[in-house]
A = this chain, B = another copy of it.
C-alpha cells in the first residue's frame, strides 16, 4: 500500500478510474484541490500525479481544469494498465492486444530474420526446436516460448523503435506478463507443427517474408485459442485465481 509513493498510487487510482470509464471522455475531472482533500494529501502531490496522467495521454491539463482525453489519443503505455484493469482483462481488449501482438511479431520476424547474427539465428532455431518437441509430445505449446522467440526477433532486428513498441506491448520485458493472459491456450498441434517447420526453414534461409507470415499465423493460433477459452469461461462462473481482486469501486462502466 505504501510501497509506491502516494503520488504514484493516486496516479494509478485516477488512471484506472479513467480507463474504466468512470469519467466520460472530455469531461472535466475534479480539481486538484478537491482531489487533494479527497485523498487526504497536499495539492502538490495531486499535481504530480496529474503530470503523469498527462504524459500517459489519458488526460490533458489546461488552466480551468484537467479533462479526460479520448483513449485513442493516449500513449501505447496504457495497454499495460488496460489489461491489468480489475484483475482480469476485458476479453475484447485482450483479443485486440493479442491481435496486435501477432502483427507486431510478424513485423519483428521480417526484420529480425533478415538481420540476425549467426548466434541469434541459432538461438531462435533452438527455441523452435523446443516448441517442436513439445508439439510432438502432444503437450500444450508454451506461450512463453513464442514470447521469447518474439523477443529474439526484436533484438535481432536491431531496431530501437521496435524495442520501444515491445515495451508498450509487453511491459518490463516480462515474458510471464503476456503469457499469463495466454495461460491455458491450447492451439491445435496439428496446425502448429507445420508452421514451426515453415518458420525454421524461413529463418535458416533468411526469408523475412515467409518468416513473417509463419509467425503471424502461429501467433494467431494462440490468439484464437485464448479467445475461444475466454468466451467459454464467460458463460460459466469464474472460479480461477485472483481471489479478492475486483473489490474496487466496481462495475460502473456506464
Contacts and interface: CB of A to CB of B under 8 A. Distances in A.
A31 interface: no
Contacts of A209: 213
A162 B96 CA distance: 9
User: Top 6 nearest A-B pairs by Cβ distance?
Assistant: A103-B107, A100-B161, A55-B55, A51-B51, A76-B164, A76-B76
Contact of A103 (B52, B74, B162): B162
Contact of A100 (B51, B97, B100, B165): B165
Nearest to A168: B76
Contacts of A79: 161, 164
B75 A168 contact: yes
A121 interface: no
A122 interface: no
Given A72-B164, A99-B161, A104-B165, 5 more contacts: A52-B54, A72-B160, A72-B163, A76-B76, A103-B110
Interface in A191-219: 209, 212-213, 216
A44 B76 CA distance: 28
A163 B72 CA distance: 6
Nearest to A104: B107
Interface residues of A, number: 45
A213 to B, nearest CB: 6
Interface of A: 7, 44, 47-48, 51-52, 54-57, 71-79, 93, 96-97, 99-100, 103-104, 106-108, 110-111, 159-165, 167-169, 209, 212-213, 216
A167 B75 contact: yes
Q: How many subunits of this chain does the assembly comprise?
A: 2
A51 B47 CA distance: 10
A161 B102 CA distance: 12
Contacts of A160: 71-72, 93, 96
B164 A74 contact: yes
Contacts of A51: 7, 48, 51-52, 55
5 contacts: A48-B48, A52-B55, A75-B167, A77-B77, A161-B169
A165 B6 CA distance: 30
Contacts of A52: 51-52, 54-55
A103 B111 contact: yes
B73 A167 contact: yes
